[in-house]
Chains A and B, each alone.
Chain A
């Protein structure tokens, strides 16, 4: 009878236990980072505001310029955090569902599809209600996702990461030109065409946030519930089925959650790319490939990244603002290139 574990097993067990402890620590660190960044977002802007004015404004006081600006920044900050979380989780889930390190709602063209749907809705059907816009965006995202996946899976090897990324890039380019074509002649909505070509959080209001929150919550819940299934799917469809996972259902549900998240986010912000690519990869360094940890981490990481990008966008080009979509592209594209370079050719 064993009374003590042999040395190797003991240290092996310890090695497994250690990451769990450090994972919790990192989580707390991320929450702290988010708080800091969100505060910065309230403080910084065309005018810098002192912290006690921020407190007062949060409490409801809107007298004086400073407190009024803060009041305007609150929904913007919240939107950045929430959209960032949504996009990051969406990207993480897409990477899991397609087993593709290059998956991201921007790269796969899904954001552009959502935007096009909204632009078409505004231009041809005169949509105005915020809720219907969100539904349209989600439908656009879903159709685009199906389209890109179908094209990317044709031929030998199915949907390999490179083929999928290429299909996504092509679709994104195609849809982007359609957006310009549809919106350009429409003087009435042309003023807003920019926000459908490059994403930004500047237009965030409490009401738009309120309209979109239910969708985001539903999407997030679906994704979090799919975490365990995603772990099995990572081993390959055959192995996952062998482990008792209902592969098609699990994939469909997870994909749906991802689509709802990015569709809803895009409905309010326009297409913001690369968040869904960068954040999950960065978080994997801390959490490993366990989706039960990866998804919450990605949510927090995405919130931090997007809020921080918005702050940077407001600071760097004072008094003008750089849209968040530009900042994330400037950060995310080099990252994307790094991933493409790093991955082994065969696997990719």
Chain B
């Protein structure tokens, strides 16, 4: 090699070295942004959680609420906060986390924001099963959850099998899921009308989702599901991100696509089903959490944790708003439905305009 070659080679390798620095720097900046956003989200969830414990027909200050949380015996607040508001708030957070995780997992895996479990029928299935279990069979909470998860998995399998022809990630899958959801919603309505009186409360719970009358026994299965299934999901998070590049590319990068998909679907369906069994299919939370998280965190990196937090925040805020901010008490599902529906339409409009396909 001549001196010129050596110079070229050195220049080239120092160019690469500085480029490597640039790449690393950009990556660290993205990491910082991500960590900041997650921090803000956690703080927001905590704040709204405490606020939801404070407001109500009787207002309790932060000191009293903190007292109850720490287990002290606070007169007056003890019952209202401890027995009524606390389980409700905890379920709101837990269910929100479940929906957020489940929704973004499906959307990532199927490469389609519309392929959210509450749109393609998984929530409807869990809800129909839960309604059936409670109203017709009068089962207890643990059995209801079991029914729900079996139904959720059955729907997932059904939708998958029916849409296999068109390619798993296609619009066909979404439409088939919508068809199945419509069927299951009618079944739920049927179960509800089987009860002698059209009980609007029950109907709202199972058709749109409601946190009214939450008690601790309902909350426990959801917490267990979170504790068990969240680590499973997080362990697959890197592989899941890579599947976004297409099955072939992901396989070429060493991801066992079918295996990852199976694990991740079962975990997501589990989370959604357990949450739905407790409070019904809170409309659109699973669908909205992922896209909102993507907006605030940026398009690179795993969305699992941010999406879970967004879900929790959505449910908490919607419940507080539904209870106190409007003239009448609205169940949480109606609030998220009214907020989520326009966003759904906006998403379709934006995707259509950009020339993409859903």
Contacts and interface: CB of A to CB of B under 8 A. Distances in A.
A194 interface: yes
B183 A151 contact: no
A155 B357 CA distance: 9
A322 B185 CA distance: 14
A330 B185 CA distance: 9
A156 to B, nearest CB: 5
A212 B340 CA distance: 35
A175 B338 CA distance: 8
Contacts of B174: 166
Contact of A333 (B182, B327, B331): B182
Interface stretch (B32-40, B87-95, B140-148, B345-353): B345-353
A341 B165 contact: yes
A165 to B, nearest CB: 6
Contacts of A173: 283, 337, 341, 344
B283 A177 contact: yes
Contact of B337 (A151, A181, A334): A181
A177 B180 contact: no
B334 to A, nearest CB: 5
A13 interface: no
A320 interface: yes
Interface in B152-175: 162-163, 165-167, 170-172, 174-175
Interface residues of A, number: 45
B200 A323 contact: no
A336 B179 contact: yes
Nearest to B198: A194
Interface class of chain B by DSSP? helix
Nearest to B118: A173
A174 B347 CA distance: 13
Contacts of A155: 351-356
B216 interface: no
Q: Interface majority SS on A: helix, strand, loop or mixed?
A: helix
Given A162-B171, A184-B334, A156 B208 contact: no
Contacts of A105: none
B175 to A, nearest CB: 5
Contacts of B166: 341, 345
Contacts of A151: 345, 348-349, 352
A190 interface: yes
Given A185-B330, A329-B186, A330-B186, A190 B348 contact: no
Of B190, B344, B353, the most chain A CB neighbours within 10 A belong to B190
27 contacts: A154-B352, A154-B353, A155-B352, A155-B355, A155-B356, A163-B358, A166-B114, A166-B358, A177-B337, A177-B341, A180-B204, A180-B334, A184-B328, A184-B330, A185-B328, A320-B196, A326-B186, A326-B187, A326-B189, A329-B182, A336-B182, A337-B162, A340-B172, A341-B162, A341-B165, A341-B166, A345-B170
Given A155-B354, A162-B171, 6 more contacts: A152-B352, A173-B341, A320-B196, A326-B193, A337-B176, A340-B179
Interface of A: 102, 151-152, 154-156, 162-163, 165-167, 169-171, 173-178, 180-181, 184-185, 190, 193-194, 198, 273, 317, 320, 322-323, 325-326, 329-330, 333-334, 336-337, 340-341, 345, 348
Please list the 5 inter-chain residue pairs (A to B) with the smallest Cβ-Cβ separation, ordered nearest first: A177-B337, A174-B341, A185-B328, A155-B352, A329-B186
Interface of B: 114, 162-163, 165-167, 170-172, 174-176, 178-180, 182-183, 185-187, 189-190, 193-194, 196, 198, 200, 203-204, 208, 283, 327-328, 330-331, 334, 337-338, 340-342, 344-345, 348-349, 351-356, 358
